[in-house]
Amino acid sequence: MIELRNITKTYESDEMKTPVLKGITFTIKDGDFVAIMGPSGSGKSTLMHILGALDSASTGQYLLDGKNISDFTEDQLSDIRREKIGFVFQAFNLLPRATVLRNVMLPLIYAETPVKEREKIAGRALLSTGMPEDRWNHHSNQISGGQMQRVAIARALVNNPSLILADEPTGNLDSKTGNIVLGTFQRLNKEEGRTIILITHELDVAEHADRILHLKDGLIVKDSLHHTKRIIKMNDYDAD
C-alpha cells in the first residue's frame, strides 16, 4: 500500500527556489498496475525518486506499507530500497562482465541471503520473467536488449519487493521487444499480484497499465482508469 499525502519537492540553489512537485496526493493499493505519465519537466522523475526512496520530499508524507518514510535517514532509506522496492531502469544498468545469474543475485548480497538459497531464488525470478535457462550463464553484455531488460526485471523481483518501479523501461527498446517487456509486467501483475508503477512519457506505453496518473507541472491533473491494452500471449516470450 502506497500513500502520498501532499508531497512537495523544491530544489534550492543560490537562493533560487525551483518547485518541482507542488502537492501530490494519491494512493496505490497492493496489486495495482499504475502508470505515471507526463511530458518531460512535469516532475515525474522527481516523483519516481521519492517513490523509490532515492530522495526525500520537501514536505508531505509518504507512507509505504503504513510506515512514514518521509523523514528517514540515508541508511534507513537504503534498507527500504533493499526490502521493499525493485527498480527497473531505462538503461538496464546491468554489471557488464558478470553473468545473468550473478546480476540477478546482486541484491541478495546486500540482503545477506544465505548463499545456498541465492541461486534458487534468482532462478525463480528469471523464470517468472521468461528468461530462457540456457542464457543464465551468459555474460550480460552478450544478450539482446529485450533479454537485458528481463534480467533487470528479474533483479528487481529477487528480493520480493512490495513495489516494482519501472522508469521508462521500454525507452531503449524497439516496439516489439518493448511490448514483450510490457507483457512481462502485465503477467507479473496479474499472475503474481505484484504492485507495479510504470513511469513513461508515452501514452501508448502507459495504456498497458490499469490506471494512469497524468502529471503536469508538478501536479496530478488526471487520474484515469481505462481500457487496458493487453499483450499477455506467452508465446511471445521467446520471440526475440
Which of 28, 42, 47, 81 is close enough to bind other proteins by CB under 8 A?
81
Q: Does 18 bind other proteins (CB under 8 A)?
A: no
Which of 70, 159, 195, 200 is close enough to bind other proteins by CB under 8 A?
159
Least spacing, CB of residue 116 vs other proteins, in Å: 12
Q: Using CB under 8 A, which residues numbered 111 to 150 contact other proteins?
A: 111-112, 115
* Stretch of 17-25, 88-96, 138-146, 184-192 lying at the interface with other proteins (CB under 8 A): 88-96
The CA distance from 168 to 88, in Å, is 8
Residue found by looking up cell 528468461 in the block = 131
Q: Is 167 in contact with 87 (CB distance < 8 Å)?
A: yes
- Determine whether 137 is exposed, middle or buried from the number of CB atoms within 10 Å of its CB (0-12, 13-18, 19+): exposed
- For residues 201, 203, 206, 208, the Cα torsion angle rounded to the nearest 10 degrees is -150
Which of 39, 59, 68, 110 is close enough to bind other proteins by CB under 8 A?
110
Q: Does 95 bind other proteins (CB under 8 A)?
A: yes
Phi, psi of 63 (to 5 degrees): -105, 120
Q: Is 122 in contact with 101 (CB distance < 8 Å)?
A: yes
Binding site for other proteins (CB under 8 A): 49, 52, 54-55, 74-75, 78-79, 81-83, 87, 89, 91, 93, 95, 97-98, 106-107, 109-112, 115, 155, 159
